[in-house]
Structure 1
């Protein structure tokens, strides 16, 4: 099985190399790993994140480790350029790297250089050779905010290698009881139900959000609909609402912001009342629709919203609903949300609403945008849900503090 795994890793590397000729993300993935020079350390605490979302998810634990052990070096690795490029200069770390390709020699060399005294992986990212090297060197490995579903490879008849990876983890902190039961059925008992550290992160952000005066001026006292992390299928639906609710302001923050995508979005909307964020300061009239053409603002934007739409639900799955929910507002998204516990919970509470088409979006929008009582009731439910689910960071940190 390890031989097949190694073949798969090398095929993946070859395919990314081929795509790098016309994909900037793939190019960064290749060149970032080729150019980086890993510095030798005496010891460190190693945090690994798949991408930016997992960084934000694990950030509360990272911040607490930084406070508790100020003398310890912190090393962060990312698998994806979208995490590395945005957080490569974070003051929370002493060094930030791309995770090298998962080969036996790379794992031995990288871990031998940074010499972690503990490794903390967030949610997922299971790499056989890195896990095996940590295990061989008796370096504690923790997985935080883990979540498991029956359809994952760990629980398939052909998943023996992945189950072996699970047995290399020192302790799992999982989001829910279902995950713990699945792990127990697979023979993994070193599991604590801690909850999801994302709740801690978004709740803290909502208590002290970064003010955005230009957004407050744009809103100008009107009600505001924010569509975050949108894809083209989402944007076609939102464009209809823009014309139907002229007394509302709209902000659309696309998940991807290359120039052709921004121009395509602008062409869907009323030209005279639509402006890009980068041109907002020089815009002479009062626009009704604002397109965010940068990365990093969305979590702060939600503080001004009255209703939020979360993109991705017509593709692989919705993006982060909790950032919006923490500020207290009803949330709308597409049909692909079943993998996300918080989305299922919010739908069950009638604080979030899943739609399959334009007709369903129109019906939900009319309910939320025309009836203040319904909207405010849903807003209270979302805020309370987030607050009641905080506390995962404390569980994890208490465990680590007792043992290190």
Structure 2
């Protein structure tokens, strides 16, 4: 028996720690027990392949946000009077058996007197090559520098409407790309407001208890009992009509943040109720640490991973809230461009029946919401010490 223990003591496994194994041994056991909670969370998160893929999708979307003017082929406000409600143009590589590269066929249109619609027909005798890293429509990069460089440009004297155009002849793909900046940012800013309120009120309720806990819990119950969508509509309708688009943006963000914090506050409260009786909290109190320091430096960091997972799962509700309000005409309004504002044009069922590409702004909303949910599930499982 002593020999077996001795051989086990001197056994060294040269392989690094594999998070897929439940019982680390040898050198990997040492790395496991020396790892911080963030390292353990990362090792478990890597095993969740769907969550990792969703994280890469979200990373691609958020990397797009600072460079929407460069990526979009057209300026979001540019109108093409000859191409109202033009259907999506296809990208081709071969023309009459010869490789030309990415190109589009130009549209010719005629007016149908029976249906009172424009009928667009591609002219397959004139391939128009698409340009890359080229000069196109001018724009204000980050609102500071006048630039005209684009990643992809339409053909010279041609068009490239990959997702079609709207009622004013504006390229829908370019407007979806521009809308990503507002729709994705509003979720992050809104969760920051919700996060701050949830940590503050949940921390007070969980650590102080007593009458403070009762008051905060009754306030949360009142907020949770109110119908969410009518409350959103009422608060959004209360915003002054003469506000600038920036003020409306921050107003909608604050509304979404104010209505989302109760769930996070309850999670913080329940965690603090269990942690405030721990020995390290008693030791901090005996050393004279203030309540604010104990909450901010000792309690909240112990379950920050859980908070991050909860916040990640809350961002989709922010994005859907902005989309719903803008779709109903009570959220962001033109000239601001967001995915909800773009979907506002799809309210008319007759227009959707005739021009189904107006529903394309719904696609990025679905992708982003699903990606956040998948990544949030992975983070929640990784942050759970019993998973």
More helix by share: 2
Q: Larger Rg: 1 or 2?
A: 2
Does TM, normalized by the shorter one, top 0.5?
Answer: no
Q: Which has the higher contact order (CA 8 A, sep 6+)?
A: 2
Which TM-score band (shorter chain)?
A: under 0.3
TM-score, length of structure 1 as denominator length: 0.22
Structure with bigger strand share is: 1
